[in-house]
Amino acid sequence: MVAHAGKPGGLKKVLGPFDLILMGIGAIVGTGIFVLTGTGALAAGPALTLSFIVAAIACGFAAMCYAEFASTVPIAGSIYTYSYAVLGELVAWMIGWDLLLEYGLATSTVAVGWSGYFQSLLHGWGVDLPAALTAAPGARPGVDTVMNLPALVIMLLLTWMLSLGVRESARVNNVMVVIKISVVVLFILFGFGHVNTDNWAPYAPFGASGIMSAAALVFFAFIGFDAVTSAAEEVKNPKRDLPIGIIGSLAVCTILYVIVSAIMTGIVPFAKFEGVDHPVSLALQYAGVNWLSKLVDLGAILGMTTVMLVMAYGQTRILFAMSRDGLLPAKLSTVHPKYGTPYFATWLVGIVFGVIAAFVPLNVLAELVNIGTLAAFCLVSVAVVVLRKKRPDLKRAFRCPGVPVVPAIAVIFCLALMSFLSAITWIAFLIWLAIGLLVYFGYARSRSLLHGSAQSQ
């Protein structure tokens, strides 16, 4: 696999550790901190800070496993590639199939949220779009809506940007990440002085179950660091830079989430967040810092833009890897001779999930995205232990500490969070996996390079 990835005409190696850390922050800091903090506060109260820490611990243990794999097998495709190398083609196909749904729906969902913030910003400037173009059909009761035009437009613009080259996309991402982190830091600086500690009592009104339920929800806020591993083939020094990018981005975001959620629940009584989709700016309005609340709205727009950019990027690289292995049509792994990107796969992702964002109401998808990611984290944690046993001779630039204890803890934390997700989420997830099995045995298996080479021998 490593030899095949190194052939001429492949993806360009242009990314460094700073790019990777900002790419991870770009994918993580977005919907989670600007939207889900309010929903999480309703479930856990001020103990939302503990919910973020629980979710971060689950991600942290999994991140150690990711870092070992990413530095050992620096190939595009993230957990799909790692599963292929260690657990076999069928398991890899299923997790790749899972990730296609996770990344795609996450991108579409964030696009819809982006559209809402963008329309709010336009409204503040006295500009309103025709009602028919503001949301998907049926998304707003009593309003005759046809499509969510801003969601479709932003998806197509980001697709165009990604198709031109990863270096250019990374530069744009880096600028937007710096701006939105600056906005978050301003919130911390100006909000701290308005905290009323009485709002923190009782600290955990719904007990441990509330903390865990909120952790299962706000886990969505950490999704994205795994997308860094999708860039493995485009990193200048993957053995050193990938672990730095994965663990560095996760650490920065965890600190920001805990501080922001503490300040939010200190300014606003947690019950006031019900039905609010802009909790951070609401806290600033409570504090009377209205000028900064408008800036936070702009930061939210940039935050969601970078999430969509990195998620769409990650999905195209998974498609690229699955296609290169023969499991999907070969067209998806062709690289543009000028831009050095999987051009066709990039536009396919952008158009399909842009249309979904435009025409399908996507307001309760966080749980479905979460269950797919948690399943992926469990697999990569198991795969690290398996590869240590099967191939102890492989050079590992980064070694996950405490194997097999750390991977086992990662699996336990992820399964615990999955148990707090709804039955409907589990049913939908299992149906998607069943469809994946049908596609694998009906199409992919007979065309895969692995089975094709076995048959030719």
Question: Residue 229 is encoded by which pair of tokens?
Answer: 């591993």
Residues contacting residue 119 through CB under 8 Å, at least 6 positions apart: 128, 129, 134, 150
pLDDT of res. 454? 40
Q: Give the containing element (helix H, strand E) for 230.
A: none
pLDDT of res. 154? 94
pLDDT in tens, the chain (457 residues): 666 655 665 667 777 888 888 878 877 887 778 877 888 899 999 999 999 999 998 888 888 888 887 777 777 666 787 778 788 899 889 888 888 887 888 888 788 878 877 887 787 778 888 989 888 887 777 788 889 999 999 999 989 988 887 666 677 777 878 888 888 899 999 999 999 999 999 999 999 999 998 998 888 788 777 767 766 667 788 778 878 888 888 888 899 999 999 999 999 999 998 866 678 888 988 898 888 887 887 888 887 887 888 788 878 888 888 898 889 998 888 888 777 778 898 899 899 989 988 887 755 566 777 888 888 889 889 989 998 998 888 888 778 889 999 999 999 999 998 998 888 889 988 999 999 999 999 999 988 887 664 443 3
Residues contacting residue 186 through CB under 8 Å, at least 6 positions apart: 292, 295
How far is 378 from 417, CA to CA, in rounded Å? 11
How far is 348 from 241, CA to CA, in rounded Å? 29
Cis omega (within 30 of 0) for bond into 202: yes
How far is 234 from 339, CA to CA, in rounded Å? 13
How far is 49 from 445, CA to CA, in rounded Å? 45
Beta strands of 18-112 (E only): which ranges? none
Nearest to 109 by CA among 81, 82, 148: 148
How far is 353 from 323, CA to CA, in rounded Å? 19
Check: CB of residue 357 under 8 Å from CB of residue 112. yes
pLDDT tens for each residue of 378-414: 988 998 999 899 888 888 877 888 999 999 999 999 9
How far is 420 from 438, CA to CA, in rounded Å? 28
DSSP 276: -
